[in-house]
A and B are shown apart, each in its own frame.
Chain A
Amino acid sequence: MKVYLDNSATTRCFDEVAQLMMQVMCRDYGNPSSLHHKGVEAEHYIRYALETLAKILKVNEKEIIFTSGGTEADNIAIIGTAMANHRMGRHLITTQIEHPAVIQTMRYLEDQGFRVTYLPVDGQGRIRLEDLQKAICKETILVSIMHTNNEIGTLQPIAEAGELIKKMNPMTAFHVDAVQGFGKFRIYPSRMKIDLLSVSAHKIHGPKGVGFLYKNEKCKVSPIIYGGGQQKGMRSGTENVPGIAGLAKASELIYQNLDADMERLYALREMFIQGVSQIEDVKVNGCMGDESASHIVSLSVRGVRSEVLLHALEDRDIYVSAGSACSSNKPQPSATLKAIGIEKDLLESTIRFSFSVFTTKEEIQYTLQTLNEMIPELRRYKRH
C-alpha cells in the first residue's frame, strides 16, 4: 500500500483536471489575446475559470487575477498594496507563523523602509485579537493573516479579524493567504471583509505553477509584473490557459462534495489523533476538533529525529513531511513551531501528516500500525 500523507506539500492531480489540461494544450492551444477563432476558443477556458471561481467565492469575476501560484499571489497582494498606498502609511501587520511567501516579502518591504509588526501566537498557533487591535494604527495599510497554518493546521479567526480591522481603520486592506484553506472551507471574502485572498491550484488536486489572487475591486494594488497588459494590466504575460482551466476544474470538483468530504476527513483526523495519542511521548501540536483544519496533523515524537522517522516511514511506502526542514549541518527550526513555543528538543522531532480527499481509513490504520511498531525501535539509536 502506498500512502501519500504529504498533501499540504502538494496533491495528486484529479484525472478530469489532467484530461482537461491535455485538451487545452493539444487541441485548444490558442493565445487568448489572439483575435482569431483559436484565440476565442482559448478565452472560453479563461471565462469558464473566472465564472467558476467567482461563484465559489461569491465575488465578481473582475476581481480574480490569475498568477503562477500562491507565492506570486502573496507577492502581488503585499508588494502591490505597499507600492500603491505608501503615501497613506508605511506600516504593515502580519503574524509570526506565516508561510515564507508572506514573511520574506514582508522582510523585503522592511528593507525598503516599511515598518512591519509580526503578531505573536498562543500555544495553539492562534493570534489574539487584542494584539491585532493594539497593532493597528493610522499608518497601517495592510494586515496579512493566513487562513490555515501549513505546518500545524490551526485556523485563524479571520472573520473576527476582518471585522476588527475595518472598525479600527477602514483604509487598511486585509490580505488572507488561503493556500491551505481554499478547498477545505467555504470562504466568502466580502462577508469576512477580506480584500485580498491568495490561492494555489496544486494544493487542491490541480496543477503546479498556477493560482490566483482575489482582489476587491475597491482595493488599490499596483502590479509587480509589467508587459503586454493582460488581465487588465494587473498581471502581464500570456495567461497560463491549461493551468487556469485545471485550477477551475479542480476547484469545481473539490467544492462539489465539500461538506461530506470534510466530515469524513475530520473523522479520519480524530481517529489518527486518538491512535497516536496511545504511543508514549508523542505530542499533537495545534488545535483539536473544528478549531483546526481537517487535513493537517503535526506530531512531535520525543527522541526520534524527524528526518529519520520520515525516511523510515518512506521505507514502508508512507510519505510525510518533516515539520521543520532541517539537517544536522544547517539546523533551521521552523518559525511556526518556535512561535507556538514548542520545547527545544522537540523542534527537530516534529513531523507533519496531511490528508486529502483520496486518503482512506485503511491508509490511516496502516500508518498508525506502522508508527506503533517503528517509534520504539527508532528510539533505541541516538546520537550521544
Chain B
Amino acid sequence: MDREACLRQVSLSEMPALYRSMQDNRKEMDMFTSFLIKYAEIGVKGKNRYLFEDALVKQIRHALKKCDGEFQVRKTDGRIYVDAVSAFDFEDTVEMLKKVFGVSGICPVIVAEDEGFEKLGERVVKYIDEIYPDKHKTFKVAARRARKNYPLNSMEINTQIGGILLDAYPDMRVDVHKPDIMLHIEIRDKIYLYSEIIPGPGGMPVGTGGKAMLLLSGGIDSPVAGYMVAKRGVKIDAVYFHAPPYTSERAKQKVVDLAKKVAQYTGPIYLHVINFTDIQMYIYDKCPHDELTIIMRRYMMRIAEHIAKETECLGLITGESIGQVASQTMQSLAVTNEVCELPVYRPLIGFDKMEIVEISEKIDTYETSILPYEDCCTIFVAKHPVTKPNLKIIKRHEQNLTEKIEELVQTALDTDELIIVS
C-alpha cells in the first residue's frame, strides 16, 4: 500500500480549517482580492496567442486548486485576472502562482467600487500609505480608462491623482521615466489599483509544447532536467526503473516524492515504474562486468522510448551532463543515444554539479534527492566501468543477450506500474 492510501484510511472526515486563522496575522494583505497576471513571451505568438493564454488560464486554475479559498480565473481585455471569491491565504496563493510557467509577474490588485473621483483619490492616498511606509520615493501614475464614459480621461486622471499624492506626501516626487512606484489605475466596471509586481517563473504554459518522457532516477539531476524542459511548456511523463529486492520500496517512494515536487510546476505526472531486476541480472550474467552500466542504460532508453511512443511523447529527457560519471562521457552518451529514434533532450548537458544543485534547491527537490537509498544504477556498478565504450564492441556483447532479452523487456513493459502523481 503506498503512503497516500495509508494516510487516506486514517484521516478524519472533518479536517479543521487550520489555515483560515493564519490570515488574521496578515491584515495588510487583506485588501488585495485580485491578481493581475503578466505574461511576457506568450504575448508575441501571433494568431496562436489564444492557445497560449487558454493554456495559462488552465494551468493557473489547476495550481490554485491546492490553495485554500475559491478563485475565478478570467481572461478579459487581453489580460488574465485571478479574483478571490472567498477568504483566501495571500501568501500561499502567491507561492502557487509563482510556480506556474508562463507567468512573468504577479500583481496584487485592489478592486474598488467606483464611488466617484473624490473617493478614488482618498483610496489611492490610503493605498500608498499602507504599502509604502517610507515616502522618500519617486512615482508615476499610469491610468487606463477602459470604460470610456468615465468623466475624466487617462491624462486627467494621471495629473489629478499625481497632484493629490504630492499634496498628501510632500516627500514623494514624480519621475515619469524610472519611477520607484508605478501606480496603475484602471477604470473598468470597477476600479483596479496596483503597483507591485512579484516576479513569476517565466517560461511558457505547460501543455503548449507537447509532451516528453523523463527518465527519473531519484538523484539530483533528473528532477531538475524535467523542470527545465517543462518550463518551455512541455508536459512531462516519467519512467523509473526499480530493481527489487536490490532497491527498496523507500527508493521508489523517494522517486514518487520527487515527481510530486516537480508536478507542482508541471501539473500531474504519469509515472511509469518498470521492474528492471531480471533484465539487469541477465545482462550481469551474459556481458562483461565493466560494460554492465552502459548496456543497462541502453535498455533503459529502449524501454523509455517504447513507452514514450505509446503515450504520444515527442522526446526523452535525461539529467545527463558531460563527464559527470562514466556513463556520461561523450563516448558513453553516443553509445546510449544510438538506440533511440526520438530526440533525447539533455537540458543539463553543460551544467556543473553545483549549478544543478542550486536549481534543485530552488525547486525544493534537493533534500529528497540526497536521501541515501540505492537506485538500480549503483547496485552492481563495476569498480572501473568503461568510460570510452566502443559501439561495435558493445553491440557485439549485446548479441549474447539475444536468446531471452526481448521476452524480458516485454515482461517489464507488461508489468509497467502506472502512478499518477500530482
Contact = CB atoms under 8 A, between A and B. Distances in A.
Interface stretch (B81-89, B196-204, B376-384): B376-384
Contact of A383 (B245, B248, B379): B379
B69 interface: no
B323 interface: no
Contact of A330 (B372, B379, B382): B372
Contacts of A313: 245
Interface string B365-400: 000000011100011111100000000000000000
A340 interface: no
A311 interface: yes
B285 to A, nearest CB: 8
A381 B382 contact: no
Nearest to A310: B245
A67 to B, nearest CB: 25
Contacts of A103: none
A349 to B, nearest CB: 14
Contacts of A308: 245-246
Contact of B245 (A312, A327, A382): A312
Given A327-B374, A328-B374, A328-B378, A381 B245 contact: no
A383 B372 contact: no
Given A381-B380, A384-B289, A329 B246 contact: no
Interface centre among A310, A315, A384, by most B CB within 10 Å? A384
Contact of B248 (A311, A330, A384): A311
Interface in B245-260: 245-249
Given A381-B281, A381-B380, A329 B372 contact: yes
A314 interface: yes
B284 interface: yes
Nearest to A327: B372
Interface in A340-384: 381-384
A128 to B, nearest CB: 36
A381 B378 contact: no
B382 to A, nearest CB: 5
B255 to A, nearest CB: 16
B290 to A, nearest CB: 8
Given A327-B372, A327-B373, A327-B374, A383 B244 contact: no
Interface in A59-94: none
Chain B interface size range: 10 to 19
Given A327-B374, A329-B372, A384-B289, A311 B380 contact: no
Contacts of B372: 327-330
Interface string A306-321: 0111111111000000
Given A327-B374, A381-B380, A315 B245 contact: yes
A177 B135 CA distance: 66
B380 A382 contact: yes
Nearest to B290: A384
A313 B247 CA distance: 13
A315 B275 CA distance: 13
Nearest to B245: A311
A384 B245 CA distance: 18
B81 to A, nearest CB: 48
B62 to A, nearest CB: 36
B375 to A, nearest CB: 10
A382 to B, nearest CB: 7
Given A327-B373, A329-B372, A381-B284, A314 B245 contact: yes
Nearest to A314: B245
A314 B380 CA distance: 20
Nearest to B281: A381
B94 to A, nearest CB: 36
A336 to B, nearest CB: 21
B379 A311 contact: no
Given A327-B372, A328-B374, A330-B372, A307 B284 contact: no
B24 to A, nearest CB: 28
Interface string B262-290: 00000000000000000001001000010
Nearest to B383: A384
Nearest to B246: A308
Nearest to A311: B245
A306 to B, nearest CB: 11
Nearest to A328: B374
Contacts of B246: 308, 311
Contacts of B244: 311, 315
A351 to B, nearest CB: 12
A329 B220 CA distance: 14
Interface in A157-194: none
Contacts of A381: 281, 284, 380
B129 to A, nearest CB: 45
A312 B381 CA distance: 20
Contacts of B373: 327
Given A327-B373, A328-B379, 17 more contacts: A307-B248, A311-B245, A311-B246, A311-B247, A313-B245, A314-B245, A315-B244, A328-B374, A328-B378, A329-B372, A329-B374, A330-B372, A381-B284, A383-B379, A383-B381, A384-B382, A384-B383
5 contacts: A307-B248, A311-B246, A328-B378, A383-B379, A384-B383
